[in-house]
Structure 1
Amino acid sequence: MTTLMTVLGIVVFVVGLLFSIAWHELGHLSTAKLFGIRVPQYMVGFGPTLFSRKKGDTEYGIKAVPLGGYIRMIGMFPPGEDGKIAARSTSPWRGMIEDARSAAFEELQPGDESRLFYTRKPWKRVIVMFAGPFMNLVLAVALFFGILMTFGISTETTQVSSVQDCVVKASSPTDTCPKDAPKSPANAAGLKPKDKIVAFNGEPTPDWKAIQRDIRRTTGPATITVERDGRRIDLHANLIENQVQKYDGKGNPVRGEYVTAGFLGFAPARGVVPQSFGQSVDRMGDMVQSGVESLVSLPAKIPDLWNAAFDGGERKADSPMGVVGAARVGGEVFNLDIPPSQQVATMLLLLAGFNLSLFLFNMLPLLPLDGGHIAGALWESLRRGVAKVFRRPDPGPFDVAKLMPVAYVVAGVFICFTLLVLVADVVNPVRLT
């Protein structure tokens, strides 16, 4: 049964991945057709074609390797300086440029002169190239908000899970009490498991964060109002200072670091709690910030990734993960000991995170990514705007093809990084805990 559920989880993730890719390319396709650009191909996947069908002047299909997708637009790059595709050169760098330019015109047909990508105004080209990543962003936001506000997420609640018997530092074991250790304030006040804290010193406590904030700010006498067996009871505690876990600005525990603050001495119960719109916005903002920080820190994570792949090093929880690793996590999701509804919610959150990553990654201003084409169109607009202001001749389209040598280098780096992540995902994968 475990194997079956793992396979099912992987299949569900792959289907979600294919949909995300198709959704991305649909953004490019729809806006390209909106602006009259001819699109000969719309493909999901790479490699051999498994299925295709032509409708109008576009061939729609699915390929064997579900690691990406593409649409082919004619005239992605402008002609050479003589108005034609430049002649073959013996220079390898020039050859790359000419190959790219040739590919952009290889399916040119009579009447296509007015349907070329490069002939569209820069703002239209920006929209066409941005539409793909934007579709991933829309899907990520829809999934995040849908899950957070309906299913909810696992988080600390206002209910008491356990009460600490005595006062110990956060860095010390809590299952035994040292000799002469005083009772914890919660124990002395009579707080019990399953109590629900509804107020602290008369102020309502709507969530765990409010309780934690109030406790840490308080030393000395405090009144804690709890719901117990359907009744409200006021408990009187005398909070003390103690060494407690440190949290970062996002509410995540900082491993191995502690602070001195007010201490009561209990652990909150965890539960699946739907989030309000405001809470969902905050969490979405945190996710975007974390995604940007992860993208910026990718180069610094390569040594640890290499060690995890080839030297048996620890695979950290925030280690970069590829499609294979994400699919394995998808398989593990359906084996978690949680209700089926939460398994589905977790899988959808995984796909939402994947789509958010696709958006952020594709917005990097580097060819061959969408962000590179956007940067080229913006640069062309700037050049033409400056020329117009100073009454200079129109410099014409910016020849993005001249950047293809750089694009090949970037693509080579991405391929090497992808292979490294693939090896790590196979031999030392990130696992759910």
Structure 2
Amino acid sequence: MTVLLYVLGLVLFAFGLLVSIAWHELGHLSTAKLFGIRVPQYMVGFGPTIWSRKKGETEYGFKAIPAGGYIRMIGMFPPGRDGKIEARSTSPWRSMIEDAREASFEELQPGDEDRLFYTRKPWKRVIVMFAGPFMNLVLAVFLFFGSAMAIGFETQTTKVAGVQKCVIPQSTKREACQAGDPVSPAFAAGLKDGDKIVAFNGTPVEDWNTLSDHIRDTIGPATVTVQRGDQRIDLHPTLIKNEVYKKDADGRVVQPLQTVPAGYLGFASKNEVVPLTFGQSVTRMSDQLQAGAESVIALPGKIPALWDAAFGDGERAQDSPVGVVGAARISGELMTVDAPPQTILVWFMNLLVMFNVSLFLFNMLPLLPLDGGHIAGALWESIRRHTAKIFRRPDPGPFDVAKLMPAAYVVAGVFVCFTLLVLVADIVNPVKLT
């Protein structure tokens, strides 16, 4: 059964991956057709074609390697200064430029002269290239809001799941009480399993983080109001100082574990799946985007540790970059976790959310051959033309993005090397849920 669930996780992630890629390319396709650009091909995957069908002027299909996708638009690059599409040179860099220019015109047909990508106004080209990453962002938001508001996340609540009978410093990592351990304030005050704490020292509390902060900030007598069945009861524990795990600003336990002195009551809170409100969903989605952007910026600094994890004896950090293989393994592990089905579903949806957020952020980098590189080229062209118009200079014409192809090959080479490094690490030293 565990193996079947693991395989199910792999299959579901592969399906989600294909949908995400197809959805991305659909953004490019729909806007390109909207602006009259001819699109000969719409493909999901790379390598040999396993299925395709031509509808109208566009061939739609799937290729063997589901690691990306593309649409082919004619006239991605403008002709050279001499107006010619083909040119040859003994310089390898110049050959790269002209090969790319030639490829963008290889499917040119009579009547296509006014349907070339580079002939569209810069703002239209920006929309076409931005539409792909934007579709990933839309899908991420849809999946996140759908799962967060319809199902919710497993969250610590103010309900009591268990009362500690004695005070045990968390730094000792001991669970059983021993002779000489003081009685916990919660046990002494009569707190019981099933109680719901609704106020602390007269201040209403609705979430665990707020209650936890009140407890940690209090040493001495306190009034804890609980809902017990149909009754509201005031308990009067005397909180003491204890060593507890340090939390960050978001209420999460800091890793690696650290202890700090703080007020201590002595009970375990109950975890429940709680749907988020729209406002909470917006805040949490914003946090996801911010965390994703910070991860992209921090990526170069994580390469040495990733190399050590792949080819040395270094440990694989939980926040280490993962590729498609690593994400698929995590998806498989998710399906085998002993948790409620709705919780597993939310985790899986969140995995797809993070994948689509990553696609959005990476493609927005202003580097060729990424979408952001073409966007940067169109914006630079717009700036040049507007500047020339203001100073009454001749129109400089389209910005020749083809001249950046040597740099694009370097960027592509770096991405390929990084992808292979992540692939090796995902195979020999994968990130695990445990």
- Superposed CA offset, 1:47-66 (max 9, x none): 01011111111100011110
Q: How does 1:12-411 map to 2 (within 5 A)?
A: 12-177=12-177, 180-255=180-255, 256-411=257-412
Give the secondary structure class of the aligned counterpart of 1:401: helix
Unaligned runs of 5+ residues in structure 2 are none
Larger displacement relative to structure 2 (266-275 or 20-29): 266-275
Q: Answer yes or no: is the 8 Å Cα contact 2:136–2:356 preserved in 1.
A: yes
What is the deviation of 1:386? 1.1
- Superposed CA offset, 1:172-215 (max 9, x none): 23414465443222222122233221111222211111211222
Give the secondary structure class of the aligned counterpart of 1:432: coil
Q: Answer yes or no: is the 8 Å Cα contact 2:168–2:175 preserved in 1.
A: no
CA distance in 2, matches of 1:179, 1:365: 65
What is the deviation of 1:80? 0.4
Unaligned runs of 5+ residues in structure 1 are none
Q: Answer yes or no: is the 8 Å Cα contact 2:52–2:59 preserved in 1.
A: yes
Taking only the aligned residue pairs, the percentage that are identical comes to 70
Residue matched to 1:418: 419
What is the deviation of 1:168? 4.0
Larger displacement relative to structure 2 (351-360 or 125-134): 351-360
What is the deviation of 1:88? 0.9
Larger displacement relative to structure 2 (216-225 or 275-284): 216-225
Q: Answer yes or no: is the 8 Å Cα contact 1:202–1:223 preserved in 2.
A: yes
Q: Answer yes or no: is the 8 Å Cα contact 2:163–2:191 preserved in 1.
A: yes
CA distance in 1, matches of 2:270, 2:314: 34
What is the deviation of 1:360? 0.7
Matched pairs, number:
433
Q: Give the alignment's TM-score, normalised by structure 2.
A: 0.96
CA distance in 1, matches of 2:266, 2:396: 71
Q: Answer yes or no: is the 8 Å Cα contact 1:250–1:286 preserved in 2.
A: no
Larger displacement relative to structure 2 (116-125 or 188-197): 188-197
What is the deviation of 1:251? 2.5
What is the deviation of 1:86? 4.3
CA distance in 2, matches of 1:211, 1:342: 24
Residue matched to 2:429: 428
- Superposed CA offset, 1:194-251 (max 9, x none): 3221111222211111211222232322111112344322111112333332222232
Give the secondary structure class of the aligned counterpart of 2:113: helix
- Superposed CA offset, 1:141-186 (max 9, x none): 0111111111111121111223233334332234144654432222
- Superposed CA offset, 1:70-113 (max 9, x none): 00000101100101124211111111111110111111111111
Larger displacement relative to structure 2 (311-320 or 55-64): 311-320
Larger displacement relative to structure 2 (42-51 or 215-224): 215-224
CA distance in 2, matches of 1:302, 1:108: 43
The aligned amino acid for 1:143 is: L
Larger displacement relative to structure 2 (120-129 or 182-191): 182-191
Residue matched to 2:11: 11
CA distance in 1, matches of 2:346, 2:177: 40
Give the secondary structure class of the aligned counterpart of 1:105: coil
Q: Answer yes or no: is the 8 Å Cα contact 2:156–2:272 preserved in 1.
A: yes
Q: Could you list the runs of 4 or more consecutive aligned residues of structure 1 that deviate by over 4 angstroms after TM superposition?
A: none
CA distance in 1, matches of 2:405, 2:337: 46
Give the secondary structure class of the aligned counterpart of 2:98: helix
What is the deviation of 1:317? 1.0
CA distance in 1, matches of 2:41, 2:328: 28
Q: Give the alignment's TM-score, normalised by structure 1.
A: 0.96
Give the secondary structure class of the aligned counterpart of 1:242: strand
CA distance in 2, matches of 1:339, 1:180: 39
Larger displacement relative to structure 2 (355-364 or 335-344): 335-344
The aligned amino acid for 2:161 is: S
Q: Answer yes or no: is the 8 Å Cα contact 2:154–2:343 preserved in 1.
A: no
Q: Answer yes or no: is the 8 Å Cα contact 1:156–1:271 preserved in 2.
A: yes
Larger displacement relative to structure 2 (309-318 or 417-426): 309-318
Q: Answer yes or no: is the 8 Å Cα contact 2:159–2:269 preserved in 1.
A: yes
Larger displacement relative to structure 2 (183-192 or 406-415): 183-192
RMSD of equivalent CA atoms? 1.5
What is the deviation of 1:15? 0.7
- Superposed CA offset, 1:326-368 (max 9, x none): 1111111221212333332222221111111110111111110
CA distance in 1, matches of 2:246, 2:343: 29
Q: Answer yes or no: is the 8 Å Cα contact 1:130–1:370 preserved in 2.
A: yes
Give the secondary structure class of the aligned counterpart of 1:254: coil
Give the secondary structure class of the aligned counterpart of 2:258: strand
Q: Answer yes or no: is the 8 Å Cα contact 2:160–2:267 preserved in 1.
A: yes
CA distance in 1, matches of 2:239, 2:113: 78
What is the deviation of 1:310? 1.6
Give the secondary structure class of the aligned counterpart of 1:157: strand
CA distance in 2, matches of 1:63, 1:270: 44
